Amino acid sequence: MRQDTVAKAEAEPASRTLMRWLQLRKSWLATVIVLIVLPHIPGLDGNFGRSLLSQMGIAAVFALSYNLLLGQTGLLSFGHAVYFGLGGYAGIHLMHMINAGLPIPMPLVPLAGAAAGLFFGMLFGAVTTRRAGVVFALISLGVGELVFAAMRILQGFSGGEEGITANRGAGPHPFGLTFGSQLQVYYVIVFWSVLAAVLMAAFLRTPVGRMCNAVRDNPERAAFIGYDPVRVRLIVFSVAAMFAGLAGGLHAFNYEIVAAEAVGAGRSGAVLLMAYIGGVHSFLGAVLGAVTITWLQVSLSDYTTAWQLYLGLFFIAMVLFAPGGLAGVLLMHRPIVKTRAFAGVLQSYAIALVPALVAAIGAIMLLEMNYRRATQPDAGAQMRLFWVDLDTSTIWPWLGASLLLAGGAFFFHRCRPLVAAAWQRASDEARAGSGTPREATP
């Protein structure tokens, strides 16, 4: 980050200061404006759309908190849902108490989640952050399983598998808001999400936040510049747990129910998936991952029963070919976006997309037909794929799908030099333009 010039003690009109402040944060402002407008856009202005947006907001906070751990400090946790779930339980119990008469407005419920997350983060963190790497990952797995089992056993607190419910509307109604409509819920979630993101970004700029990155890159060296890596890890662990708890509180607020699965391995796995697919190293990645995975989980399951398979394939493809995640893929284009040759790159993508789609259709057909056969044997051999009726008991659909897959893959392979050449032209132009020596090529 560019060093700010040391401000002289000049009197500056307040309006100038405000304008400068706004200018520096224009991307944040733009985001906030978009978020405010989003639920009114046709297509998203129904209950389903607003509910989806709310889910994405909650997932984004959760994924951002995970980014603090993994992306910024290098701590791989398989049990981060513990703090999400315990925050959720704190939230739902507070909602219960509000239902019973406690005069606290509902939008403050997520704070209880944050408090619970912070408490348990410090408690469990004290013993689990002494080591990093694989040992830490395994301990987090163990703690996650322990807490999950405990929640299943302690039914009075957790409601077990069925969970605990509360009523979001039965509390004080400040300004006449009942929080019954999904729109009001969405705006509450947006408020907390943006606040959380701002706070997490600010945390990363503090001295201890910078040391998180240092500890991630080289914990040994971090000790040799005066910082105890264990203490740094404990601090970031507690902060991450706090925000995970906040997300849990939002979850309680949104769904009016929290069950044992909120601390379970499935949810811990989901946030890991989100962070990785979106891009482990950046804020943008966490948000992208949260949005993408939430959308896939909600929408894809409407189209196909094999959606978990596609998710798994997508994930493995990411690990193998795009370890920087979606954000990494996007940011990879940053040096060449401004060049004239960029249009050529986009063109090459468009050309390569055709055989890729063909191959994908073939693969999807094969997978879907197989899946249907195995999981719904009574549904018969007739099925409808891509708006075409097929009889899976004959060989034709299988043959056709295999041809599509093989043909598409073959031609896609032929397109690769095209894309590589277009990239080469663009990066040559970019390098010539900026005059910086060659640093990293895709």
Residues 227-246 that bind other proteins (CB under 8 A): 227-229, 231-232, 235
CB of 318 to other proteins, least distance (A): 8
Contact predicate 359/426, CB 8 Å = no
Stretch that binds other proteins, among 54-62, 226-234, 247-255, 414-422 (CB under 8 A): 226-234
Q: Which is nearer to other proteins, 45 or 161 (CB)?
A: 161
Site for other proteins in 260-299 (CB under 8 A): 265, 269, 272, 276
Q: How far apart are CA 333 and CA 342, in angstroms?
A: 9
> Which 18-77 positions form the footprint of other proteins (CB under 8 A)?
70, 74, 76
Number of residues that bind other proteins (CB under 8 A): 80
Q: Does 313 help bind other proteins (rule: CB under 8 A)? A: yes
Please list every residue from 186 through 215 that binds other proteins, using CB under 8 A.
202-203, 205-211, 213-214
Closest distance to other proteins from the beta carbon of 45 (Å): 35
3-state secondary structure the chain: CCCCCCCCCCCCCHHHHHHHHHHHCHHHHHHHHHHHHHHHCCCCCCHHHHHHHHHHHHHHHHHHHHHHHHHHHCCCCCCCHHHHHHHHHHHHHHHHHHHCCCCCCHHHHHHHHHHHHHHHHHHHHHHHCCCCHHHHHHHHHHHHHHHHHHHHHCHHHHCCCCCEECCCCCCCCHHHCCCCCHHHHHHHHHHHHHHHHHHHHHHHHCHHHHHHHHHHHCHHHHHCCCCCHHHHHHHHHHHHHHHHHHHHHHHHHHHCEECHHHHCHHHHHHHHHHHHHHCCCCHHHHHHHHHHHHHHHHHHHHHCCCHHHHHHHHHHHHHHHCCCHHHHHHHHCHHHCCCCCHHHHHHHHHHHHHHHHHHHHHHHHHHHHHHHHHHCHHHCCEEEECCEEEECCCCHHHHHHHHHHHHHHHHHHHHHHHHHHHHHHHHHHHHHHHCCCCCCCC
Nearer to other proteins, 177 or 367 (CB): 367
Of 28, 191, 295, 315, the one binding other proteins by CB under 8 A: 315
Judged by CB under 8 A, the residue of 60, 92, 242, 311 near other proteins is 311
Pick the stretch among 95-103, 139-147, 174-182, 347-355 that binds other proteins (CB under 8 A).
Answer: 139-147
2 binds other proteins (CB under 8 A): yes
Pick from 145, 256, 261, 428 the residue near other proteins by CB under 8 A: 145
By rule CB under 8 A, what string of x and - marks binding of each residue 350-389 to other proteins?
Answer: -----------------x--xx--xx-x------------
For other proteins, the binding residues in 77-136 under the rule CB under 8 A are: 127-128, 130-131, 133-135
Rounded to the nearest whole angstrom, what is the least distance from the CB of residue 277 to other proteins in the complex? 10
Q: How far is the CB of 227 from other proteins (least distance, A)?
A: 6
- Measured from the CB of residue 120, what is the shortest distance to other proteins in angstroms? 14
**Whose Cβ is closer to other proteins: residue 350's or residue 438's?**
438
Query: What's the closest the beta carbon of residue 90 comes to other proteins, in angstroms?
Result: 16
CB of 165 to other proteins, least distance (A): 19
Question: Is residue 300 a contact point for other proteins (CB under 8 A)?
Answer: no
